[in-house]
Structure 1
Amino acid sequence: MTKLLHSACLLICISGAIGLAAAAAGHPGCQTRCGDVDIPFPFGIGDHCAIHEGFRLECDNAMKGTSNQKPFWGDFEVIKISMEDGKVWVKAYMSRQCYNQSTGGMSYSDASANLSGSSFWLSDTDNKITVIGCKTLAYMTTDSYVIGCSSACDNKVNKLTPKNGSCSGAGCCQANVPKSIQYYQGYFNEDYNTTKIWMSSPCSYMAVMETAAFNFSTSYLTSSVFYDTYKGGVPVVYDWAITSKTCTEARRNKTSYACISNNSQCIDNLTNAQGYRCKCSNGYEGNPYIKDGCKDIDECLNNATYPCKGICTNTLGNFTCSCSPGSYMMNGDCMPKKKLRFDSVPVVVGASIISVVLVITIMCAYLIKERRKLQLIKQHYFRQHGGLLLFEEMKSQQGVAFKIFSHEELQEATNRFNEQQILGQGGHGTVYKGLLKGNMEVAVKRCMTINEHQKKEFGKEMLILSQINHKNIVKLLGCCLEVEVPMLVYEFIPNGTLFDLIHGNHGQQISLATRLQIAHESAEALTYLHSCASPPILHGDIKSSNILLDRNLIAKVSDFGASILAPTDESQFVTLVQGTCGYLDPEYMQLCQLTDKSDVYSFGVVLVELLTCQKAFNLNAPEHEKSLSMRFLNAMKNNKLADILDDQIKNSENMPFLEEIAELAAQCLEMSGVNRPSMKHIADNLDRLRKVMQHPWAEQNSEELESLLGESSMVSSRYTSTGNFSMERKGVMELDSGR
């Protein structure tokens, strides 16, 4: 399959010290336009014309032998640059799969982009992941996410009929772009292709592109119109910052600080919490990156934007609007003053009092109306999320320790959701630390989205989740239903996550016994969710950052509020695959069906993390080594387990236990879910290993130790004899499709 990798090498060559003196000196003689595109500083064409190499452009002929010049930024053609908004528009390739009549099979071309190390990233507000096709499942992988959607042209259940201008699953679907993405690669699920429908729909497409530039047409499905329109590249919007420093850090070095114009100000990038840009202060316009670039706006010359029906006087950064002597300002107009006779004073005073009373009455009525309107909106959301059902169930079930919080309570607890209260952010939402009345510490999760099915079932599912009572599961204390997307309230766990413990660069020694304890307690929690909860609960996003640790390093599985109850029929299968790259079950990616064995696969990755102290996905590693699970399975297959184990725990005394845990992890990582063990089986085996390690006679009685450790030692022979492994192209695992 063809791989179209768009190099962005020029963007990565950003030095820490910005040579502003050289840039400013070279700027006056530099080219400020290429073809039809304006090139404002800090961008520049050629040597010493940009603020630094990351903003350097080349002005080349778009086609050899022509005089039509276009600006290029590495391999990207630049369409437009907005200095004020901190955005740049470029053309990027799309991913495509088409039926090949000559071979009778599918041909593929996958697009990707890598801006890692630069000050540029995909705009999450201006772009969307767009998929076009009559039988298509496509997705975008990043270093942290796998996000995509599926589209079809007809379905016996849903009767999907494509319509012009509509992109909601019928021939076209879209997904949101996560924040701060600098790397992505597009893929197609090859089981969804056009081999059987190529006469009516020969091709499918996937592109990350500007939302405003796309308008779906049904002709995109039956012809090559979409490809012909954008074969030079689809428009994509990138946000940018001068460097990765914050404004506070940048101001410390006056020689490299970019906001050099008077009447300019520095703006921190709030999208990914790093980097800064410059802008002219209010009342000024121009270029803040050059000396004296910000000029005063003469508001009096633009009456449409700055209306003044009197005498307009321009001031630095502002203007005044006044009336001539003998008149006064009223509702923006100059009105002539009238002399009042003595006998008219009482009338005027009375009229003034009546006017004040009338204004106060109107304001009070308006405030009462708005308050009632807000209350009705809250009641609507409360009913929509199943609040009435939840309330009735709570009354009928005595002793349920679950509370329905008001929005005001959670605002007060989190200091109005102050950014300084943020504990963590992920694909499902943002978690804030809160302090309830009575000094009770909690974690408040604001979810990002909720679908229609979840809205109807939310109250019912919250009551089920609230009844989970396990020492290794974070307790769900309550929820808030009177907002558009419900909020969840958990107990607060103070000691961070397992991810922080393993990868936090704190130099702390983590014994094998501690790692085995955390693994066993986490497995017990998942066993409870799968086997003891009624109905069973699927977590859906098991990873080391969702396993919290208390002060005694007791494991607490968290974030099960984003879980789903086990589906009972096909109508509950998901169409949007979401998860964390490196932990995602390949069978779930292919079949769009989340099962308990999906949690088993993800738990297997966590086991490998504990054994190796390596991250689940490494973007900077070679293509075949990006996935930790694939590196681990290859090591098991080639009898090189010792090469991948963490040096802290790798010794002759621990090796029997390490081999046993590794074999258990390999079972969890089986490509087919039916071949994976249950969480109860995993928990029982980990419990057995802990008990063996705790016995003081374990070293002395080697025969019994070997007997205890030999109960599940079937994996290594299976891996060395069959060698039945498959890798998805470009580093993401999938089921072997027979290619």
Structure 2
Amino acid sequence: MKYPRLLLSVRLLLLCLPAVWVLAAADVPPAHRPGCKPSCGGVDVPYPFGIGDQCAIHSGFNISCNLVNGTERPLSGPFEVTKISIDDAKAWMKMDISWQCYDDRVRKMNEEIWRVNFTNTPFAFSSVDNKILVIGCKTLAYMMSESYTVGCLSQCSGELRNGSCSVGAGCCQADVPKDLRYFEAYFNPNYNDTTACGYIVVMEEKAFNYSTTYAYSSNFFDEYKGQVPVVMDWTIRRKSCEVAKTNHGSYACIADKSECVDDTTNRGYRCKCLDGYRGNPYVEDGCTDIDECLENTMNPCTRSGGTCLNTQGKFTCLCPSGKQMISDMCMANQKSSFWVMPVVGASVGLVVLIVTITCAYLTQQRRKLQHIKQRYFQQHGGMLLFEEIKSQQGIAFKIFSEAELQEATDKFNEKRVLGHGGHGTVYKGLLKGNLEVAVKRCMSIDEQHKKEFGKEMLILSQVNHKNIVKLFGCCLEVEVPMLVYEFIPNGTLFQLIHGNHGKQISLATRVQIAHQSAEALSYLHSWASPPIIHGDVKSSNILIDCDYTAKVSDFGASILAPTDESQFVTLVQGTCGYLDPEYMQTCQLTDKSDVYSFGVVLLELLTRRKPFKLGGPEDEKSLALRFISVTKEDKLKEILDDQIKNDENMEVLEEVAELAKQCLEMSGANRPSMKEVSERLDRLRKVMQHPWAQQNPEEMESLLGESSMASSEVVNTGNLSIEKKAARSLESGR
């Protein structure tokens, strides 16, 4: 077996960018840096980049020119730069391939996996130019960041064709999330092949051409010599143009004929030359006029018989003496020629002909577009859904047109964005009648769910629960369907817990939110027909109303996730910190996956800590693992939120912590159902609302009658529950 590189041990190499990449605290006024080296190793290094001290606009754009194997190579941090584009605000770099191979000699898997961090740099992985690629005949691999977990399962179950990267062909691919600056590569050891190699990499899509030999050998690694091209977007600073312009000392667009451009995808700004100019907008006098008269492709004057006169930012056509510009042609005027009228008439006729042809073309394109929309509508089961809505009276569900949602969201204006998630982007919309809605544009949908989408929407239209965000309708005449929800104005549980707003959140409010969220998930699992698995339970998918009522959202996207073994070899998606480890191993989503994720939400409510901490120590990155560790050592108080940590609350906190611990069991079979979780939280709320020390015996007897089952359940765990203590208190009172 041939391996990429010498494999003597498993190595995990951390490639965090050096400290010089952290942006300087004091901004250096941008200017042309005389005496700086303009290129390295044949690669131009234009300003704002620079080689050497004080040559770049700030330290994030420093390029080092080092000798590698006797040849100069430009490096940004540890990565070789192969090209820099000022016009497109992109940089091309080489990055290492993460791999896992079976070693026949020691009979185990060896691997080399990479962790890349661009967090404090101007760079982000281009979501337009790159793809996440997984190669191998049985390779389950994924990329994890603080906000995303994205990957796929590559198999050789179908026909292998050169140039075709698809599930079953020894290769699969996934989209790169927007504004991705950090990732860690992982292989699933419980699923991957033990006879060959598997690879995962972020790579420029245009530079990849799949070969069937990649699936069975180390050819992929060998051909690219262990490194692949990656396209990085860059912005000058993580500020908007409006904010950047207020700081004249650091504002980068200093060329006279330049303008500032907001990059909403990567949350920063860059500069460009005005139309009619080109050059470097970051340098004084860097944007120079384009002489259209010298560029035939932009010069219609010669064809019209005139003379081209270049002006700043544009050009003018001058006709010879005795002629004038008529319909973009230099023609004799009426006084100088008797044949001018026939020519004018012919020109008018030509214009009429062109207008007629244009109208016919636009009509044809409109019909073509309508045909495409109809095809998408039928492909997504629109006719089935439409007929069912007509036949079943009382279904408050609407099929929206694309034009309606375009109008409602101001053509999906970036200013209307409410949030980004693993499944898509949510926009605030205003329908006719001033009805506020949330419109979700999903990123992708697999072939299986394209066929069943209309049927699934019919199921979701009948979901009706006070703690679930109502799904008003959908749009099916687009390639990836869009979902329309009711709009909840007061933000998410994530913002409430982790936002820097100084709000005090009582334990009673936290238990209320937990109980209402659990009731919603229990309804989806137990009462919806057929049952619905949410698939992405997290605090940012729980919305909070003005009276702290919890509403679970984003359940519409969940039904698009794989739910049975026949759909099992597709994308593995979710949010880092919440993902069920059993799902990561099997790729099979179950109701117990939701239970695990809900357990993490309980920990957020107890600790007010984020589920995944990127910059923390290794043993504190995962909140779930940290929680399990402290509970084993009986040090629960160490991670509880100070706002609710007191002697009066400890019994309730221990009860909720015990419930969270059961939800976080590694095996789904050992976790409680969401119905059981909801019932236990409900009983806990009732006990908190009716302290037994202040109740008469009749009221306590009624309350504990509801809690009898809970007492027996918790006794079996070896812990003394609040319900049981209440019963003892009542007995002693008698």
TM-score (ref. length: structure 2): 0.90
Partners of 1:666 and 1:715 within 8 A in 2? no
Partners of 1:547 and 1:557 within 8 A in 2? yes
CA shift for structure 1 position 414: 2.3
Partners of 1:91 and 1:232 within 8 A in 2? no
Separation (CA, whole Å) in 2 of partners of 1:654 and 1:570:
44
Return the match for 1:440 from 430, 435, 439.
Answer: 435
Residue 289 of structure 1 pairs with residue 298 of structure 2: no
**Structure-2 change in CA distance of 1:470 and 1:293 (3 Å):** same
CA shift for structure 1 position 709: 7.0
- Which 10-residue stretch deviates more, 264-273 or 504-513? 264-273
2:190 matched residue in structure 1: 191
**Structure-2 change in CA distance of 1:602 and 1:367 (3 Å):** same
Separation (CA, whole Å) in 1 of partners of 2:319 and 2:396:
67
Separation (CA, whole Å) in 2 of partners of 1:364 and 1:247:
40
Could you give the per-residue CA deviations for residues 76-135 of structure 1, whole angstroms, max 9, x where no partner exists? Answer: 111111122111111111111111122111101101211112221111111111111111
1:713 matched residue in structure 2: 714
CA shift for structure 1 position 356: 6.9
Amino acid at match of 2:280: N
2:139 matched residue in structure 1: 136
Amino acid at match of 2:714: S
Partners of 2:21 and 2:77 within 8 A in 1? no
- Determine helix, strand or coil for the equivalent of 1:713: helix
Return the match for 1:163 from 138, 161, 166.
Answer: 161
Separation (CA, whole Å) in 1 of partners of 2:681 and 2:372:
50
Could you give the per-residue CA deviations for residues 2-28 of structure 1, whole angstroms, max 9, x where no partner exists? Answer: 11222312453211432126x64xx21
In structure 2, stretches of 5+ residues that fail to align are 1-9, 720-734
Partners of 2:207 and 2:229 within 8 A in 1? yes
Amino acid at match of 2:604: E
Residue 372 of structure 1 pairs with residue 371 of structure 2: no
Amino acid at match of 1:219: T
Residue 57 of structure 1 pairs with residue 63 of structure 2: yes
**Structure-2 change in CA distance of 1:221 and 1:452 (3 Å):** closer
1:213 matched residue in structure 2: 207
Separation (CA, whole Å) in 2 of partners of 1:658 and 1:673:
24
**Structure-2 change in CA distance of 1:344 and 1:575 (3 Å):** closer
2:154 matched residue in structure 1: 151
CA shift for structure 1 position 354: 6.5
Could you give the per-residue CA deviations for residues 366-390 of structure 1, whole angstroms, max 9, x where no partner exists? Answer: 4544443333232222211111111
Separation (CA, whole Å) in 1 of partners of 2:193 and 2:404:
53
- Which 10-residue stretch deviates more, 354-363 or 180-189? 354-363
CA shift for structure 1 position 182: 1.0
2:514 matched residue in structure 1: 519
Separation (CA, whole Å) in 1 of partners of 2:337 and 2:289:
47
Amino acid at match of 2:313: G
**Structure-2 change in CA distance of 1:308 and 1:45 (3 Å):** same
1:730 matched residue in structure 2: none
Identical-pair percentage: 64
Return the match for 2:124 from 121, 124, 127.
Answer: 121
2:76 matched residue in structure 1: 73
**Structure-2 change in CA distance of 1:303 and 1:28 (3 Å):** same
- Determine helix, strand or coil for the equivalent of 1:424: strand
1:239 matched residue in structure 2: 233
2:49 matched residue in structure 1: 43
Partners of 2:322 and 2:336 within 8 A in 1? no
**Structure-2 change in CA distance of 1:221 and 1:390 (3 Å):** closer
1:729 matched residue in structure 2: none
The residue correspondences of 1:605-616 to structure 2 (distance < 5 A) are 605-616=600-611
The residue correspondences of 1:492-641 to structure 2 (distance < 5 A) are 492-564=487-559, 570-641=565-636
Amino acid at match of 1:38: D
Separation (CA, whole Å) in 1 of partners of 2:193 and 2:450:
35
Separation (CA, whole Å) in 1 of partners of 2:179 and 2:526:
38
**Structure-2 change in CA distance of 1:649 and 1:343 (3 Å):** closer
Amino acid at match of 2:532: I
Partners of 2:150 and 2:571 within 8 A in 1? yes
Separation (CA, whole Å) in 2 of partners of 1:126 and 1:368:
33
Residue 325 of structure 1 pairs with residue 321 of structure 2: yes
Return the match for 1:681 from 650, 671, 676.
Answer: 676
Could you give the per-residue CA deviations for residues 236-260 of structure 1, whole angstroms, max 9, x where no partner exists? Answer: 1211112222222222222222222
CA shift for structure 1 position 698: 4.4
Separation (CA, whole Å) in 2 of partners of 1:95 and 1:599:
30
**Structure-2 change in CA distance of 1:330 and 1:351 (3 Å):** closer
The residue correspondences of 1:78-93 to structure 2 (distance < 5 A) are 78-93=81-96
Separation (CA, whole Å) in 1 of partners of 2:523 and 2:146:
31
Residue 224 of structure 1 pairs with residue 218 of structure 2: yes
Separation (CA, whole Å) in 2 of partners of 1:31 and 1:130:
36
Could you give the per-residue CA deviations for residues 332-362 of structure 1, whole angstroms, max 9, x where no partner exists? Answer: 55455677998996x7898788667656655
Partners of 2:264 and 2:414 within 8 A in 1? no
Partners of 2:24 and 2:58 within 8 A in 1? yes
Could you give the per-residue CA deviations for residues 159-196 of structure 1, whole angstroms, max 9, x where no partner exists? Answer: x132211111211111111011111111111123342x
Return the match for 2:483 from 488, 502, 507.
Answer: 488
Could you give the per-residue CA deviations for residues 566-618 of structure 1, whole angstroms, max 9, x where no partner exists? Answer: 97852133521110111111111110101000111111111111111111111
Residue 313 of structure 1 pairs with residue 306 of structure 2: no
Separation (CA, whole Å) in 1 of partners of 2:250 and 2:530:
60
1:15 matched residue in structure 2: 24
- Determine helix, strand or coil for the equivalent of 1:20: coil
Amino acid at match of 2:579: L
Residue 303 of structure 1 pairs with residue 296 of structure 2: yes
Amino acid at match of 1:290: V
Amino acid at match of 1:263: K
Residue 204 of structure 1 pairs with residue 198 of structure 2: yes
- Determine helix, strand or coil for the equivalent of 1:277: strand
Amino acid at match of 2:14: L
- Determine helix, strand or coil for the equivalent of 2:152: strand
The residue correspondences of 1:690-729 to structure 2 (distance < 5 A) are 690-698=685-693, 710-713=711-714
- Which 10-residue stretch deviates more, 560-569 or 546-555? 560-569
Separation (CA, whole Å) in 2 of partners of 1:69 and 1:356:
59
1:408 matched residue in structure 2: 403
Separation (CA, whole Å) in 2 of partners of 1:313 and 1:565:
59
1:727 matched residue in structure 2: none
Could you give the per-residue CA deviations for residues 493-521 of structure 1, whole angstroms, max 9, x where no partner exists? Answer: 12211111111121111111111111111
Partners of 1:147 and 1:576 within 8 A in 2? yes
Could you give the per-residue CA deviations for residues 194-217 of structure 1, whole angstroms, max 9, x where no partner exists? Answer: 42xx3xxx3221111111211111
Separation (CA, whole Å) in 2 of partners of 1:223 and 1:617:
36
Separation (CA, whole Å) in 1 of partners of 2:413 and 2:487:
17
Amino acid at match of 1:12: W
**Structure-2 change in CA distance of 1:164 and 1:357 (3 Å):** closer
1:724 matched residue in structure 2: none
2:723 matched residue in structure 1: none
Return the match for 1:251 from 230, 245, 249.
Answer: 245
- Determine helix, strand or coil for the equivalent of 2:593: helix
Partners of 1:663 and 1:715 within 8 A in 2? no
**Structure-2 change in CA distance of 1:377 and 1:326 (3 Å):** same
Separation (CA, whole Å) in 2 of partners of 1:343 and 1:627:
85
Partners of 1:106 and 1:193 within 8 A in 2? no
Residue 182 of structure 1 pairs with residue 188 of structure 2: no
- Determine helix, strand or coil for the equivalent of 1:90: strand
CA shift for structure 1 position 218: 2.1
In structure 1, stretches of 5+ residues that fail to align are 719-739
Amino acid at match of 1:244: R
- Determine helix, strand or coil for the equivalent of 1:484: coil
